[in-house]
Structure 1
């Protein structure tokens, strides 16, 4: 059942929320130094039972902030190597929640997303960088919405962001971590931050809040490899996710060093779920796990329709695969492919399976046009000259791939090369001319 978020969205952010939070020591009390001020007393222990009516009543469905991807009362983990678009993806998820516009086509079943509040907590980027990245994404999306859906939808998109999207920037504030070290050196929840942080969030919304945290490593204190510290972080994330009704956290983390050097490809859902660097507790106890990794140019050509992307750009690996490695109490969604275009992400669909005939028919007009250009320029039509043609390089990929295409075209009678090794000259055969005529 859809919820009405109008009242939540109309809530005005508190003054405390709009201002940067004061240094952590402002919140410290005047208790003696011998007492650990950050220790949180456990709530009373409750022993709970079931009634027959409860056991046979209707089962409450799983609740999601983003359908089939981000559950409530838990944290969701996005793992990725350096410059794998983690922060950009997190901003897209927050904007989806705030506006209802699924800009990356990530929704598994097309049922639609409830619009609600989103809060980004930033530990790595300055506020200027965060604003610039958000502006690039929003302006790119706004132009697309305006073109496809018209002025009313484009205006709604902007108004919802203004109403529902907020940020807190902790970058450069060393003490503003979610966990800290107590006097004994043990990692524990940082109450000096958590209390005012949750109070500020309540000043923005009564609940249904998507909280984005970027990145995990700077949001905590201590070694990310330490299980003893990791269990405290997991408890703290779950506590914050449950502090407001029907809310949840999405947090970014780097992959393991191995995956950072060579992104996981074909490792399956398990590899995607366990790719987070540091303690395995972070990935084990996230309720939803994502892995985002940039893919090599050869793999992109194999999987995707990238004919309109220059070869040089494709070699810079602008395309990333987003794998949904795990969703507790639900099914994982299919892999998605996203291209970075000027700081904005654009979905790319997988190409249908191509046969050898498909590859020949796609490449032959490109090679034929290059042959015509060489003839007009009174140059010899050699394999080397064809491979040096800019359009062939752009459309056919690296030299090794282009050579394979040339061999296939010659082997199947579309091209013919005659002469000695150094003076071999190519031409389009009669079969090739008939094929071009049929295409025209």
Structure 2
């Protein structure tokens, strides 16, 4: 149903209300339609930069735009004034005019001065990679916490880029300007409109952080309950569109939204499942990562990403059909290190092997000693992945041998769910069990120890 709802929105032809003057759309909702992509190649091979531009095109299409052309320039570093070289700006302007594009997307985070200089010369809206990803997140977030996190990231990004053309935002508010938002309730008669906007953004950011702190408390309570009961947790992490939600559905029957699009999952999903011998553990689907993930997003989604940092095992999903799976692995591990999850045990799952080159899959398997290859779509390799996950789950610490009376069937049930059974034998006096259990469960079994 979620997938159907997402696809039932269609653009109506002939109802465009886009304004021609870019100075009037600064605070309107970002709508990407016909775009030209621009990149700067500073390091790596030609294949690397072409993969980066292909990923930027996928991001632009996910945001709802049509990519008309893509160009990149070889430079030691981006131009501090215009991102690409000043001579290349004129070439970009000609491409924009020839294609009829209304937006230019740059593959990097641009400074406010770079954005302003490019817009002044190209005469269309210029958007950087960070604003593009934020726009995609804003479209896909459904849960209240996800929406608050996205808004916080957007406001943090926007606060540094408030600007006006001419006297638009530099005018001062006098004593009788209630219609302009000044006067009573304003900070004073000397406050300019840009200062008023910045103050309101700061107030909104403070409110969102308070709300997220409350939501984080709720998430922490649930996590502490799982810790108290010593339920192992597994987090599915990986590059965006690597197939994490499909793998969760295949492993647990979760039924979460699956779509062949970047950042289809923003709201984390946790499902309870069990091993072949009955041990209970949880498995969580998390937001996908991407190359150069904006730091505003990492900070805003930190409470959600703690689901990964507090897990006992990370199932790192990588798209085997991607041109550069090793690059995906490295990009995700950089983010995991940022959230202090770099030392958690990791199982690499190479997904989409039904569409991947077998030579590429073999290359990744040789590079990653602890890895399995699966296809979440066809089910190939899923049994091996489940066995690998169960083998990597933390084992209970305390060994025990107990003769449990038949009247205490509840204890046997808890050993199945929370412990590990080596041998189980039914005798005339009761059930003789040898295995491992948590300290709390082992203390309850102590009176039946043999």
- TM superposition score category, shorter chain reference: under 0.3
Larger RCO (CA within 8 A; separation ≥ 6): 1
TM-score normalised to structure 1 length:
0.24
